[in-house]
Amino acid sequence: MSHSDEITAVLKEHPQARRDSLIPILQQIQDRTGFISPQAVQMVSDELSLPTSKIYGVATFYNQFRFQPLGKFHVQVCRGTACHVKGSAAVLDMLIRELNIKPDETTRDGLFSLEIVACIGACGLAPVISVNGEFHGGVTPDNIKKILDSYRAQAQKDQSQNDAQEDKAK
């Protein structure tokens, strides 16, 4: 399904939607597409007869919405109590520095996105980060680079495999 088809499908679930449907509509769009694109804002604006500025205003007020697609590797940093006690703030700082993005943003190359989450149920491994659902426990600011590098290497490998396949198809 194309991006706009996904948005249309959500809008169809809210016939005669009014302003008070805005948040649930945005939530559903984000669940289906991973983010709120400019196209989604425009389509919702047309449907609800609301200016796009109003939609951005509401969506940015609730910081559950993201405006960039998720990266190939989605990094979640647990900021629950156990992880906090074991130093997750410093881990988060290092990720921000190393990726050069803020939480809820995606790196320019589309490789990584960053999100702060509450307890992800692995307190025994605190502090924990999860990358595409894969847990890394006992992380420290010092081993963040190594973890990220392993995903960078994986992305490169995937890329060369794709290139090789494309060459074969020619």
Binding site for ligand FES (CB under 6 A): 78, 80-83, 119-123, 126, 128
Q: Tally the C-alpha atoms within 13 A of residue 36's C-alpha that lie toward its C-beta.
A: 26
Instruction: Point out the residue whose Cβ comes nearest to ligand FES.
Output: 80
CB of 76: closest distance to ligand FES in angstroms? Answer: 10
Tokens of 129: 């980060």
Residues contacting residue 70 through CB under 8 Å, at least 6 positions apart: 34, 35, 106, 113
Closest to ligand FES by CB, 67 or 135: 135
CB of 138: closest distance to ligand FES in angstroms? Answer: 12
CB of 59: closest distance to ligand FES in angstroms? Answer: 28
Closest to ligand FES by CB, 58 or 90: 90
Closest to ligand FES by CB, 85 or 164: 85
CB of 104: closest distance to ligand FES in angstroms? Answer: 19
Distance CA 112, CA 119 (A): 21
Residue 136 phi/psi, 5-degree rounding, is -125, 115
Tokens of 102: 């803020």
CB of 116: closest distance to ligand FES in angstroms? Answer: 11
Closest to ligand FES by CB, 123 or 147: 123
Residue 84 phi/psi, 5-degree rounding, is -60, -50
DSSP string, 5-25: HHHHHHHHTSTT--GGGHHHH
Closest to ligand FES by CB, 17 or 123: 123
